[in-house]
Chains A and B, each alone.
Chain A
Amino acid sequence: TQLLEQSPQFLSIQEGENLTVYCNSSSVFSSLQWYRQEPGEGPVLLVTVVTGGEVKKLKRLTFQFGDARKDSSLHITAAQPGDTGLYLCAGENAGNMLTFGGGTRLMVKP
């Protein structure tokens, strides 16, 4: 069974601070996705990383895929209250199903 562990589970910070969320596994994934989920809604895809060592930037968000394709990180620079939400990483294998981490619930206080 493939497992993805996210840390931290909860994070409460002040506006303007930086933060990093980690997603770790002992399994190799063909790709890894990061989603953000608002209460009462479905996950919204932020980025897909495919190549080991790949780094992708989305405005103030930086996503990195580990060299061995077993782990990933999401770094947010100068967090805003609008960044508040549940961040989910999900690994995809050859079978097409996504294995989700438990999520990181981020709160950014003004």
Chain B
Amino acid sequence: NAGVMQNPRHLVRRRGQEARLRCSPMKGHSHVYWYRQLPEEGLKFMVYLQKENIIDESGMPKERFSAEFPKEGPSILRIQQVVRGDSAAYFCASSQGQNQPQHFGDGTRLSIL
């Protein structure tokens, strides 16, 4: 099953550490999206990337958060100096192109101690 693969599934970090979340899109998909889901809430858009380009990062916090989708390898969502409020499930989705259905991975659950 070549679906969207996210790893790790669970990540525990202490306050001040860095968190790196990885996402491999479905085969043939070149558009990647990151969403965050806080407990008991819906998903909130963070960033939209194509290969080597950030298309829309309007949902990304201005500090500590960054994302990339290199020519080779998975997309990375990086959170520096994590705080308790970063605890959430982070979902990646991919699509074949613009205005195409987005297919989601099973998420990375980030817990900050």
Residues of chain A touching chain B, judged by Cβ–Cβ distance below 8 Å, are 4, 6, 30-31, 33, 35, 40-45, 48, 88, 90, 92, 95-103
Contact = CB atoms under 8 A, between A and B. Distances in A.
A57 B56 CA distance: 33
A87 to B, nearest CB: 11
Contacts, number: 64
Contacts of B6: 42
Contact of A33 (B48, B101, B105): B101
20 contacts: A4-B42, A6-B42, A40-B106, A41-B106, A41-B107, A42-B4, A42-B93, A42-B106, A45-B101, A92-B99, A95-B56, A96-B33, A96-B99, A97-B59, A98-B35, A98-B93, A99-B45, A100-B42, A102-B42, A103-B42
Interface string B69-113: 000000000000000000000010101001101111111000000
B43 A100 contact: yes
Interface residues of B, number: 27
Contacts of A40: 106
A22 to B, nearest CB: 15
* 6 pairs of A and B residues whose beta carbons are closest in the complex: A42-B104, A100-B42, A97-B45, A100-B43, A102-B42, A42-B106
A97 B43 contact: no
Contacts of B31: 96
B47 to A, nearest CB: 9
Interface of B: 4, 6, 31, 33, 35, 41-45, 48, 55-56, 58-59, 91, 93, 95, 98-99, 101-107
Nearest to B97: A96
A58 B53 CA distance: 37
Given A88-B42, A98-B33, A98-B45, A42 B102 contact: no
A30 B99 contact: yes
